[in-house]
Amino acid sequence: MGSILVFGASGQLGQCLAHVAQERNTPNMVFLPEAQANILNPAGLAALFAEHRPAYCINCAAYTAVDKAEDEVELARKINRDGVANLSQLCGEYGTVLIQISTDFVFAGTGNQPLVETDEAAPISVYGLTKLEGEQVISDYTNKFFILRTSWLYSEYANNFVKTMLKLGREREELKIIWDQLGTPTYAIDLAGCILSIIETGSQEFGLYHYSNEGVTSWYDFATAIFELSQTPVRTVPIRTAEYPTKATRPTYSVMDKTKAKTQLGVAIPHWRHSLQVCLGRLEV
């Protein structure tokens, strides 16, 4: 197998990929430093592809500051759309398989049924819109791609909801948490495992997939589970979204149906609570 280039290697998912690749002894993984792997630098990217001639390109690089994106529209679009276009063009030229990470934020989140890949995408935030634009630009340059939409990522790496809750739970007696937004937490280690399984099996089932852990919960119930499993004595109070206004609007319901990933990619997906317990064990809390 040729080399596997990882862009956004220092981020949460990039670090999880490095962790899982080490566990599995996955060969030919190239975790590129940010200064060398700027997806907005076409000349630099061309030099990397010429040097490595990769079999796979995993793009974990993204603009993910959801609220800030409302004020930094052009920057978010450059990274989430134009950067993806730059990678897609080179993947097409070199016959490289692109694995692009996307988000549940491409949906409006106004329904109450698990979302399938063919459901209409109607983003309600700049972040969601620019990630959708990134999805749409790929097929202009290549037909060898996997787009994995995921949700509520957390792990023992980088900043995320689980680590924030553990920190706040140690500092405060009471926390108010939103209960009227429903989705599924995703352990980024599990997502990394799915990505490497696609590569290891040499899957040719290209296209768009949903991948999160199994189950459904609210942010309030997620936080409550974190405190319960970590034995953190903090009181949680459920509040509505309207009581915690943010610049960007979030989907109210973004539970994704993973049937396609399970049947076509052959991946087994753990329940979110099981994976949370694994993560907390690794954090030794």
251-272 tens-digit pLDDT: 999 999 999 999 999 999 999 9
End-to-end CA distance of the chain: 39
Question: Per the domain annotation, does 167 fall within a domain?
Answer: no
Neighbours of 174 (CB within 10 A): 8
Question: Per the domain annotation, does 219 fall within a domain?
Answer: no
Pairing of strands 97-103, 56-59: parallel
Question: Per the domain annotation, does 67 fall within a domain?
Answer: yes
Pairing of strands 186-187, 235-239: unpaired
* pLDDT, tens digit, 9 for 90 and up, residues 95-136: 999 999 999 999 999 999 999 999 999 999 999 999 999 999
Q: Which two tokens stand for residue 27?
A: 């060969």
Neighbours of 22 (CB within 10 A): 10
Tell me which residues are annotated as active site: 127
Residue 258's domain spans which residues? Answer: 4-159+186-214+254-270
Mean pLDDT across 41-70 = 97
CA 229 to CA 161: how far, in whole Å? Answer: 15
**pLDDT in the model for residue 1:** 73
Q: What total of structural domains would you count in the chain?
A: 1
pTM of full prediction above 0.85: yes
**pLDDT in the model for residue 9:** 95
Question: Per the domain annotation, does 122 fall within a domain?
Answer: yes
Question: Per the domain annotation, does 224 fall within a domain?
Answer: no
Residue 261, Cβ density class (10 Å: 0-12 exposed, 13-18 middle, ≥19 buried): buried
* pLDDT, tens digit, 9 for 90 and up, residues 10-50: 999 999 999 999 999 999 999 998 888 999 999 999 999 99
Question: Per the domain annotation, does 113 fall within a domain?
Answer: yes
* pLDDT, tens digit, 9 for 90 and up, residues 211-235: 999 999 999 999 999 999 999 999 9
* pLDDT, tens digit, 9 for 90 and up, residues 73-96: 999 999 999 999 999 999 999 999
Question: Per the domain annotation, does 164 fall within a domain?
Answer: no
Residue for token pair 């692109």? 98
Mean pLDDT over all residues of the chain? 97
Tell me the CATH number at 13: 3.40.50.720
**pLDDT in the model for residue 35:** 82
Question: Per the domain annotation, does 45 fall within a domain?
Answer: yes
